[in-house]
Amino acid sequence: MFTVQTVIAVAVSIIAVAIAAVMWQLFGILGRVKQQITPILTNVEKTLEEVNQELERVNEIIKTGESVVEKVNMTTKIAQQAVSSPLIKLVSVGAGIKKAYDSLTRRK
């Protein structure tokens, strides 16, 4: 007859075989997952490198645009100063001439 120890030993053996089978299946699944993930991660890394390169290009374009805007602003200020000073003088001379003309025409 079977003793309690024999029954326990058989039960533990069956459980150990079942655990070993599950572990074997898990190792197989993990191997397949690793085979599938490796190319995906390689593609992700390549894509991120390309995105970083594009971001660097966009950054350069933005810097160039900022530089152009600064140059346009500076040119506008210089042109404004170059035109406004003589224009103010011309308007002042015109006002003086008008005042002189008005005072001469009032005397007559």
For 28-69, the pLDDT digits (tens) are: 999 999 999 999 999 999 999 999 999 999 999 999 999 999
Q: Has residue 11 been placed in a domain?
A: yes
Q: Has residue 99 been placed in a domain?
A: no
Structure tokens at 64: 């160039």
Distance CA 9, CA 89 (A): 113
Distance CA 108, CA 100 (A): 13
How many domains does the structure of the chain reveal? 1
pLDDT of residue 104 exceeding 90, the answer is no
| Among 64, 44, 67, residue whose Cα is nearest residue 56 | 64
Q: Has residue 87 been placed in a domain?
A: no
Distance CA 87, CA 78 (A): 14
